[in-house]
Structure 1
Amino acid sequence: MNRITAAALAGAALVALSTAPVSAQTVSDYPETRATDTSETIFGQQIADPYRWLENDVRSDAEVANWVEAQNVVTDAYLEQLPGTEWFKEELAKLIDYERFGIPTKAGDRYFYSYNSGLMNQSQYFVRDGWSGEGRLLIDPNTWSADNATALADTAPSKSGDYLAYAIQDGGSDWRTIKVLDVATGEEMSDEIRWAKFTGISWLGDEGFFYSRFPETEEGQDFQSLNYNQKVYFHRLGTPQSEDQLVYETPQFKEQGHGLGVTDDGRWAFISSSTGTDNRNELRVIDLENRADGSWQTRDIVTGFENEWSPIASTGDTVYFMTNKDAPRYRIVRADLTQPTLEWEEVVPQGDNPISGASIIGDRLVVEFMQDASSRAVYYDLDGNRTGELDLPGIGSIAGFGGEPGDSETFYSFTSFNQPGAIYRLDVDTGETQVFAEPEVAFSPDDYRVEQVFYSSKDGTRVPMFIVRGKDSTGPAPTLLYGYGGFNISLTPSFAATRLAWLKAGGTFALANIRGGGEYGKEWHDAGRLNNKQNVFDDFIAAGEYLKAEGYTTPEGLAIQGGSNGGLLVGAVTNQRPDLVDAANAAVGVMDMLRFDRWTAGRYWVDDYGYPDREADFAVLRAYSPYHNIRSGVDYPAMLVTTADTDDRVVPGHSFKYTAALQAADAGDEPHLIRIETRAGHGSGKPTDKVIDEYGDILAFLAYHTGLKVPPAE
């Protein structure tokens, strides 16, 4: 485990460490945390914030750094003596050790894809020259840093496949550096883009590419300052970033974010603008074929942030879009963009199941639907006539279907809870599929069964939940319940070695598709955001009650887990129903709902959470904010909070403050610990060895406190 050392902080004031022995059942002494009298009056309420100093950046505040070190000392000592720690780490290493391929991207005659032989810390990136060509290594991120915490974050081949733009992520941060390779030689070119963030990379032929960036931050504020004034630029290949052309900005509306995508035929460039995370955007188009004097003249397609509009593909003058305008479960429309007044023609109407994606491959539309949180793919001709459906092996999730009109092939993946992602090549003319990559794993998928149940929430709403357990399991078993519930994000069946390790130990895994996600379209999302946020917690609580009442889990065997918005979920539910929960892992959670909008990307989340400086929203946020609702004098379950020092999505101060408040409260004898990783961020780009180490600790903690009997380590 890579940790901050006290020696590196010489001269700083030390935080007192406990010298008492640490029991595997209780932690009698937590590190001392300084509490201040910081408070403020907000809408007539006195709001205490005694641990606000823990918001400071660990890299620049010695007192915070020492607090992190002190907490890790206690947490490490506790976790190292748990009986299941070594077994879980050994098992995770076995389960992750299988070949993994990414879905290929075709450009020109070349095929690009990622590859991991099994335990590589970072996946490599390969190219084939022609379908029958041998894979050739282009990028190996494992050589980029000594701790393997520098990752390949994104890739984009040029139209011909002669060049590859790729983004580098360091230490888990959301900031990106973009570079370019000559694909034929594998040599790195002189191009380098900095301060890119929340951006795609979209090529204009082979001339160069579009990207989005923010202004350079003040020194020392890379990981905390708010992200405003995002702009779209065009970078011409072989030129310095200082010569990049500004394509689009809205200086009068600094809160708007902008991204640009070019249609596969190179005819149109669409600029999507949004103010938050609520999938409501404005849309502008640049006619790349008829632009005068090299200008980037935009035309408004959709104005007003009322609905979601996503371009799918263009066939000459006609462009297809996916939208939830007048269709909360989405529909597909098209329009001739050369006409002075656009007329929207419906191609695929809204149905009972929400549309989750679409593409045009060859001469047909491939439309992905979500049916009770599981995937379907249906074929249509370009006029919207249904022509068939992709045959899938069962409950699971599909992804891919990249390509363009006129292509004869596309690639997609299928995965489920007991099935790692297999990748298939689809002939769109015949409908035939062939395996591109099918993993060979150290377990039999048939040893586990996936079922779906429906339960009633507090207000009677019917909520789906997946339950995964051994095929011969019939009685109650310690159960790990996972949830998210926000930002229109749907949780669908997918494979994770971390979940399978829990199953192999004899546990049950459950995933609740609670409101706030997108499993049933806009209405499901709206029912779990803003002043409806309590529905999310009620749904999750009802899932736990169902698992206990129906005998899936043991009376004292319910563990809950969630990350990011799901970390907020775990914190809020633990506050509201500590009696229901037996162990909890709140990962990289949003824990201070009165100040979340003050750092990095936090300001975007007001679409889901509301504005802390508006009285009506404040009242809702104050009612469930995990940091502000810890109840002293109540026995809390065992809690392991996890975060990382370089998380610039949900800054670690959220987790620091919540943990300090929980440890200071009279909250019972169960341990309330925090595990803080270094050189890691919100989750993406984390090297395999850190994943194994972290999840080995988490699973051992949850197992011990739910009574899951873990086999001895080999």
Structure 2
Amino acid sequence: MKLTLSALTLAAVLSTGAQAQGLSYPATRKVDQVDTYHGTAVADPYRWLEDDNAADTKAWVVQQNQVTDQFLAAMPQRLPARRIYTELYNFERFGIPFREGGRYFWTRNDGLQQQNVLYTAKSLTDTPQVALDPNAMSKDGTVALSGVVPSRDGKLLAYGVAGAGSDWQTWKVRDLATGQDLPDTIEWVKFSSAAWTADGKGFFYARYDAPKAGEALKGANYFQKLYYHRLGTAQADDVLVLENRDDKEWGFGAGVSDDGQHLLVTVWKSAGSKNGLMVLPLPKGAFAGGKPQAISLDFDAQYVPVVTVGQRLIVKTDKGAPRGKLISVDLKNPAPAGWKTLVAEGPDAMTGASAVGGRFLLSYLHDAATLVRVHAADGKALSDVKLPGVGTAGGFGGHWNAAETFFSYTSLTTPASIYRFDVKTGKVSAFKEPKTAFNTDEFETRREFVTSKDGTRFPIFIAAKKGLKLDGSNPTILYGYGGFDVSITPAYGVTAATWLKMGGVYVMASIRGGGEYGSAWHEAGTKLKKQNVFDDFIAAAEWLVKNKIASPATLAINGGSNGGLLVGAVTNQRPDLFAAAVPQVGVMDMLRYQNFTIGWAWATDYGTSKDSPEMFKALLAYSPVHNIKSGVNYPAVMVTTGDHDDRVVPAHSFKYAATLQAAETGPAPKLIRIETNAGHGAGKPTSKIIEERSDILAFFANTMKLEVK
């Protein structure tokens, strides 16, 4: 039955599935849309929901939110969960400091500010001054800083802003002495920062062309270009540095070497970790034109520039070393035959490399926990950085001639503290340690190992109150991601802390598809091997049940973006194993994801339905939208998305929720929570974070009958 807009808005027509479940879901009309892939016909009855700007889609969003709001408002756990979340969120938080032009810069949030504020000071003992406050840029707190880059002399600040969670950025330049913005304005920036030339006269950045009237930036119709902007000139006069019209998947990341003598360009294709590397001389620290020359454009490995020392470029790579190594490239003769290994591949995955104080600081993951090792300029191992415990450390940026660097350290039950590291002496000292209402002494984290379906072993991190009773009755959240070389390591988050304080157990799984054990680990969870990711996550859930941490009645799963895909796929494959599932901003339609915004870039991990019959078959086998089982009792599901998400478009979640509601999946609720004026999550204001995440926890608690006081 095709409904008019007025009927869709007003009629209380229920699908058969909704009636069976006892909830009055809005009726979602179906269309006769069928696509053929390699000779196989696949129905797509909710194709119309892909147009999130259409009036009937907007009306559907309003109706769905009404149902969800009514359900959430009736939960006795909602207000207590929000109170606890707010209490734990309200603590002073700091970003990792960095130094440029005789100034220190770092971010701070006093606790409940909508966005972090950028501060600057001449020394660490001076009273910091506000350099930039994004909270003054919008009334609702939805404008966020997407990047800040000071000029080499520390006088000017290039900064990017994004609104409503969008990936689109506008870049401006602020005079730090006056606090006023210069006329320079850069538009149509996405997935790019800025890189100043050493003379301070301009910066490199990457952007897309502005769309023509009536056109939209979708798929590969538009491609990224690298430009140089000279201060005081219009964006229309910016110099085109690099583009590739023959391969529109190319994107660019620009950096200027520590000595200011080279532009270093990383060339990315899609969202994979393999990239190209190019270099352009900058005589006397200025841009004089010219085209970057290739170090490697084979896209056969990762190539991350670390530092230039004279005419040698130090690069972190996994070329011939799946767990990573450090190499030295002669810029006068950069052919691979002349590359020299500076630090060889070791037993642990090298996840980061920086050059500070004439030494290399190399970060590794050992069973998903951070280790940091110090090496001399010739590659010789010197010492390890003494970290506070088994957890996650990040930062360690700085300059080759600097004496210090800063890093953060966190664990599942320890909020991130900021530390200063003296490179010469090896001394670690606290810079900022947050004070929070969360009592870390009451809880503990332990690392366990799970064996997957095919015998692969991987770690999980379990945070719980000390003295946890192992009888299977503990309300437990299992979180995962499993993709795009992203490592899941133990780190404090208010969501986990709130759940722990509510009386639950929080578990993180470091599964295949991530970067916890190097490039081979990542590749083992991609394309035709993607099922390994789901098998690992299911194995983690089964381990929790077997070891009586939880039971199917007390186990919930959660993940976002690629992790939303994980939750959707696993819910379909093992609906009997979970009490509740919340996929956030998930990639749910695996046959069409590449058709929207940046979706085409994910093909390195997923493959596409057009690639081959084999690839199509594999995608169809786990695509969340296409594998919902009618006639099977599902756990309680609450899908979350944002109506302005221009990375994983909301159509994924819309179609998945509509399909769930129309199917016969038992009495448990099948809801969708759609955040308005919000995107993928980056830059989301504090108030929206608290509301959304506390609702998720309350939904879990309500499902598992956990009382919250």
Q: Give TM-score, length-normalised by structure 2.
A: 0.96
Aligned match of 2:683 = 685
**Taking structure 1 as reference, are residues 610 and 441 closer, same or farther at Cα in structure 2, changes over 3 Å only?**
same
Q: Structure 1: which 5+ runs fail to align?
A: 1-9
CA deviations 1:521-575 (Å, max 9, x no partner) are 0111111111000111111111111101100013410100010000000110010
Report the alpha carbon displacement of residue 678 of structure 1 after superposing the two structures with TM. 0.9
Q: Structure 2: which 5+ runs fail to align?
A: none
Are 2:509 and 1:512 equivalent residues in the alignment? Answer: yes
Q: Secondary structure at the match of 1:15?
A: helix
In 2, the alpha carbon distance for the partners of 1:363 and 1:552 equals 48
1:497 aligns with one of 494, 497, 514: 494
CA deviations 1:476-510 (Å, max 9, x no partner) are 30100000001111001111111111000110001
2:307 aligns with one of 304, 313, 321: 313
Are 2:332 and 1:332 equivalent residues in the alignment? Answer: no
**Taking structure 1 as reference, are residues 504 and 43 closer, same or farther at Cα in structure 2, changes over 3 Å only?**
same
Whether contact under 8 Å (1:559, 1:581) holds in the other structure is yes
Are 2:276 and 1:276 equivalent residues in the alignment? Answer: no
CA deviations 1:221-248 (Å, max 9, x no partner) are 6575556320000111121111111110
Aligned match of 2:566 = 569
Aligned match of 2:136 = 143
Are 2:551 and 1:557 equivalent residues in the alignment? Answer: no
Aligned match of 1:158 = 151
**Taking structure 1 as reference, are residues 341 and 660 closer, same or farther at Cα in structure 2, changes over 3 Å only?**
closer
Aligned match of 1:621 = 619
1:487 aligns with one of 484, 489, 492: 484
Report the alpha carbon displacement of residue 217 of structure 1 after superposing the two structures with TM. 2.6
Report the alpha carbon displacement of residue 392 of structure 1 after superposing the two structures with TM. 1.1
In 2, the alpha carbon distance for the partners of 1:443 and 1:175 equals 36
CA deviations 1:47-71 (Å, max 9, x no partner) are 00000000002xx310000000000
Amino acid at match of 2:352: G
Aligned match of 2:588 = 591
Aligned match of 1:247 = 241
CA deviations 1:180-211 (Å, max 9, x no partner) are 11011111111110000000211112111111
Whether contact under 8 Å (1:214, 1:227) holds in the other structure is no
**Taking structure 1 as reference, are residues 48 and 330 closer, same or farther at Cα in structure 2, changes over 3 Å only?**
same
Residue identity over aligned pairs, in percent, reads: 45
Are 2:387 and 1:389 equivalent residues in the alignment? Answer: no
Are 2:169 and 1:171 equivalent residues in the alignment? Answer: no
Whether contact under 8 Å (1:16, 1:32) holds in the other structure is no
How many residues are paired up?
697
Aligned match of 1:478 = 475
Q: Secondary structure at the match of 1:319?
A: strand
**Taking structure 1 as reference, are residues 223 and 554 closer, same or farther at Cα in structure 2, changes over 3 Å only?**
farther
Whether contact under 8 Å (1:208, 1:237) holds in the other structure is yes
Report the alpha carbon displacement of residue 141 of structure 1 after superposing the two structures with TM. 1.1
In 2, the alpha carbon distance for the partners of 1:671 and 1:327 equals 48
1:611 aligns with one of 592, 595, 608: 608
Amino acid at match of 2:312: T
Report the alpha carbon displacement of residue 340 of structure 1 after superposing the two structures with TM. 6.5
In 2, the alpha carbon distance for the partners of 1:627 and 1:506 equals 33
1:676 aligns with one of 674, 677, 695: 674
Matches within 5 A, 1:146-545: 146-205=139-198, 206-219=200-213, 226=220, 228-289=222-283, 294-339=288-333, 341=335, 343-475=338-470, 476=472, 477-545=474-542
In 2, the alpha carbon distance for the partners of 1:424 and 1:560 equals 33
Whether contact under 8 Å (2:218, 2:598) holds in the other structure is no
**Taking structure 1 as reference, are residues 147 and 227 closer, same or farther at Cα in structure 2, changes over 3 Å only?**
farther
CA deviations 1:660-685 (Å, max 9, x no partner) are 01100011111000000011111110
Whether contact under 8 Å (2:155, 2:177) holds in the other structure is yes
CA deviations 1:560-611 (Å, max 9, x no partner) are 0010000000110010100001100000000000000001110001100002
Aligned match of 2:70 = 77
Q: Secondary structure at the match of 2:671?
A: strand
Report the alpha carbon displacement of residue 709 of structure 1 after superposing the two structures with TM. 2.3
CA deviations 1:277-315 (Å, max 9, x no partner) are 221111110011279992223221112111110100111
1:707 aligns with one of 695, 700, 705: 705
In 1, the alpha carbon distance for the partners of 2:550 and 2:10 equals 40
Whether contact under 8 Å (2:295, 2:334) holds in the other structure is no
In 2, the alpha carbon distance for the partners of 1:125 and 1:425 equals 19
In 1, the alpha carbon distance for the partners of 2:513 and 2:616 equals 19
Report the alpha carbon displacement of residue 30 of structure 1 after superposing the two structures with TM. 0.6
CA deviations 1:432-480 (Å, max 9, x no partner) are 1222111011122121100000111111111210000011322330100
**Taking structure 1 as reference, are residues 428 and 443 closer, same or farther at Cα in structure 2, changes over 3 Å only?**
same
Aligned match of 2:115 = 122
Report the alpha carbon displacement of residue 18 of structure 1 after superposing the two structures with TM. 4.2
In 1, the alpha carbon distance for the partners of 2:131 and 2:320 equals 46
Whether contact under 8 Å (1:223, 1:646) holds in the other structure is no
In 2, the alpha carbon distance for the partners of 1:525 and 1:471 equals 34
In 1, the alpha carbon distance for the partners of 2:451 and 2:334 equals 51
**Taking structure 1 as reference, are residues 130 and 167 closer, same or farther at Cα in structure 2, changes over 3 Å only?**
same
Whether contact under 8 Å (2:77, 2:698) holds in the other structure is yes
Aligned match of 1:600 = 597
Between 170-179 and 391-400, the greater mean CA deviation after superposition: 391-400
In 2, the alpha carbon distance for the partners of 1:200 and 1:372 equals 32
Whether contact under 8 Å (1:313, 1:319) holds in the other structure is yes
In 1, the alpha carbon distance for the partners of 2:183 and 2:123 equals 27
Whether contact under 8 Å (2:242, 2:291) holds in the other structure is no
2:56 aligns with one of 45, 51, 63: 63
Amino acid at match of 2:242: Y
1:29 aligns with one of 21, 24, 27: 24
Divergent runs of 4+, >6 A: 10-13, 290-293
Q: Secondary structure at the match of 1:639?
A: strand
In 2, the alpha carbon distance for the partners of 1:147 and 1:208 equals 32
Whether contact under 8 Å (1:267, 1:316) holds in the other structure is no
CA deviations 1:98-138 (Å, max 9, x no partner) are 11111112111101111100000111111102333220012
